[in-house]
Chains A and B, each alone.
Chain A
Amino acid sequence: MTEDISALWVTLRLALVSTSILLLLGMPLAWWLVRTGSRLRTVVESLVALPLVLPPTVLGFYLLIALGPDGIIGGLTDHGLAFSFTGLVIGSVLYSLPFVVQPLQNAFSAVSPLILEAAGTLRASALDRFFSIVLPLSRPGLITAATLGFAHTVGEFGVVLMIGGNIPGKTQVLSIAIYDHVEALEYGRAHWLSGGLLLFSFLILFLVYRQNGRRE
C-alpha cells in the first residue's frame, strides 16, 4: 500500500513538473508557430505532432537510447538520464507536447491581429502585448492545454514503461503500479488504483469543460 501511495506521489509530481515545463515551452513555441512566416514552421509543426502518430514504445525506445549514458541527451550528463525522474520528465514533455501546443496554437491564432496592433499603438511592447492581451484572451485554450498535458502525463504508460525502470518512489508511476498489480494477479489493488485514476481523470476533465462552458 505504501508503494501505491508513493506511486501516486511520483505521478502527481511528474504531472505537475511536466505540465509546468510544457506550458513554459509550449507558449513561445505555439506563439512562434502562429506568427512566423518561416519555412521551418511546417517542419517544426510536424515534429511536434509526431508523438500523436508514433506508438509510445517507438518514442520510448529512442528515448531510452538518447537518455542512456552514451546517448545524445544522456551523454551530456555524468551517468545518463534513463531510469531517473528527470528522464521521465523529458519523456513526458516530448510525448505530451502536441496536446499542449495544439490547443495553444488554436487559442493564439484566434486573437485578432488588429487588437494586437491597437495595443502596439498604445505603448505596449511585444512581450507586454503577449502578457496583457494574448494570454488573457487565450485563457480557455490555456486551461485546455494545461489539463490535457496534465491528464496525458498522468495516464502515460508506454513511454514511462520504456525509460522508467520501475523504481518505487522514483520512477514508478500509477499506471505502472496498476500494470504490476494486474500482472501479479493482485486484482483488488489494481481495481482500487484504476478506479481512483478513472475518477480523478473524469473529475479534472469535468471541471475544465464546465469552466470553459461557463465562459462562453
Chain B
Amino acid sequence: MLLAVSVSAAAETVHVAVASNFTGALRLLAQSFEKSGAHQVRISAASTGKLYAQIRHGAPYDLFLAADRARPERLEQEGLAVAGSRFTYALGRLVFWAPGREFEGAANVLLARPDVRRIAIANPRTAPYGLAARQTLEAIGLWQRLQGRLVRGENIGQTFQFIASGAAQMGFVALAQLPEESPRPGYRWLVQPEFYRPIRQQAVLLRRGADNAAAAAFLAYLRSGEARRLIAGQGYGLEDDE
C-alpha cells in the first residue's frame, strides 16, 4: 500500500503525438504500459506532416511517433527534439490488396490487367506508404504504365477507404490495416522488403517532454521485449540491431 501511494505521487502523464497508421497499436501499448506502472498516456493522432507542423508551432506533445524518419530528424536538427533520443520503433510493411478477387497468380499480372481501372496508393509525396508503393511499382516495372489508373489517398487511412468502399478495385495499404484476427477476403500480396526502402517509423522525445518522467518511462517501454512483441503482432516489422 505504502509503495503504491509513493508511486502514484510521482505519477505523470505523457502526451504522445502519433502517426495515424500506428494509432491502433499505440492504444494497445498504452493499455499495457498503464497497467504495469502508474503513468498515464494521452494520445493525439494525425498525419505525420500535420503533427510536425503543430510541433513546430508549439503543440504540447512530449513524444512524437512519426510514420517516417525525415520529420523526427528535422525536429532534432531544429532543436525541438532531444538529441540522441530518436530511434526506429517499427518498420512499416506494405501489402497489396484486392478485396473480393479470386486470382491465382502474381500481383503484377493482376495489376496489368486492362479491366483494372482504379488502383489506390497513398500520396508518394506526403505519405511514407505511398512512397513505398511507388518504389514497388517501379521495381516491378509498372509505375509508368499505370499512371492513368492511380488514385492517391492523402494518407494510408484514406487509401484503405478508397479500396474498402469499392471505389477503387485494389491498391497498396499497410499490413497493420489488415489484421490477422479479422481477415478480409480477397487477394493479398505481402510485398517483399527488397522492393521498397524500409519504412522506418521513428520516435523522438520532444523538448517539452525532456523532464517528463512518464515520457522517459514510455520510451524505455517501447524498446522492451513486451512492447516489441505487441508491435510485431500488429503487422509491423522490427529493426534487428537494437
Answer yes or no: are A and B bound together in one complex.
yes
Q: What is A's interface to B at a CB cutoff of 8 Å?
A: 61, 64-65, 67-71, 74, 79-80, 82-83, 161-163, 165-167, 176, 179-180, 182-185
In this assembly, does B83 line the interface, its C-beta being within 8 Å of a C-beta of chain A?
Answer: no
On whether the beta carbons of A69 and B162 are closer than 8 Å, the reply is no
**Among B165-173, B182-190, B213-221, which stretch is in contact with chain A?**
B165-173
Known: A61-B161, A82-B118, A185-B49. A179 touches B154 (CB 8 A): yes
Known: A82-B168, A184-B49. A165 touches B126 (CB 8 A): no
Known: A183-B49, A183-B126. A161 touches B167 (CB 8 A): no
Contact with B167, one of A163, A184, A185 (Cβ below 8 angstroms):
A163
Interface residue total, chain B, C-beta cutoff 8 A = 27
Q: What is B's interface to A at a CB cutoff of 8 Å?
A: 47, 49-50, 52-53, 71, 74, 117-118, 120, 123, 125-127, 150-154, 158, 161-162, 165-169
Which chain A residues lie closer than 8 Å to B118 at the CB level? 79-80, 82-83, 165
Closest B-chain residue to A81, C-beta based? B167
On whether the beta carbons of A182 and B53 are closer than 8 Å, the reply is yes
Which chain B residues lie closer than 8 Å to A70 at the CB level? 166
Closest A-chain residue to B166, C-beta based? A68
A86, B71: Cα distance in complex, Å: 37
A64, B153: Cα distance in complex, Å: 12
On whether the beta carbons of B50 and A183 are closer than 8 Å, the reply is yes
Contact with A64, one of B50, B53, B167 (Cβ below 8 angstroms):
B167
A164 → chain B closest CB, angstroms? 8
Known: A166-B154, A167-B151, A183-B154. A65 touches B167 (CB 8 A): yes
A55 → chain B closest CB, angstroms? 14
Contact with A180, one of B120, B125, B166 (Cβ below 8 angstroms):
B125
